[in-house]
Amino acid sequence: MHLTPAVLAIALQGPMPPFPPGFIPPEAVAIIQSFFMTIAVIALGIPIIRALTRRFVDRPPVAPTISADVANRLERIEQAVEAVAIEVERISESQRYLTRVMAESRALPSGGGAGGGGGGGGGPR
């Protein structure tokens, strides 16, 4: 077999590297960037999420504070409502009493006694 000088030069040179020296394929750069970005997000995100979780979950509920002005107003409203309730109770008692009196007056017999027969005065005019 007879080798040409070009074939002989390639054979003596050895195998060529797959990429030129200093060259990184763009796909490898994208994969490496994605990997390190994921690591950075995890490293920074976990403490932030823990802090937010502690802040919102572990915090005891805060009782709402009522100012003195609002407390005084509520007290006055409560007294006014109680006064209205007492008046409504008095009105209902009065209504029951009047209903009972009217029922008793209708139940009385209306004739022939000393009162003179249910009219307003003497005999016929």
Q: Where are the domains of the chain?
A: 24-59, 66-106
C-alpha–C-alpha distance, residues 8 and 14, integer Å: 10
pLDDT tens sequence across 89-110: 999 999 999 999 999 888 877 6
Mean pLDDT of the chain: 82
Is pTM beyond 0.75? Reply is: no
Report pLDDT for 80: 97
Which of 16-25, 79-88, 101-110 reaches the highest mean pLDDT? 79-88
Could you tell me which residue, 27 or 125, shows the higher pLDDT?
27
H or E element in which residue 34 lies: helix 26-57
Which DSSP letter does residue 17 get?
P
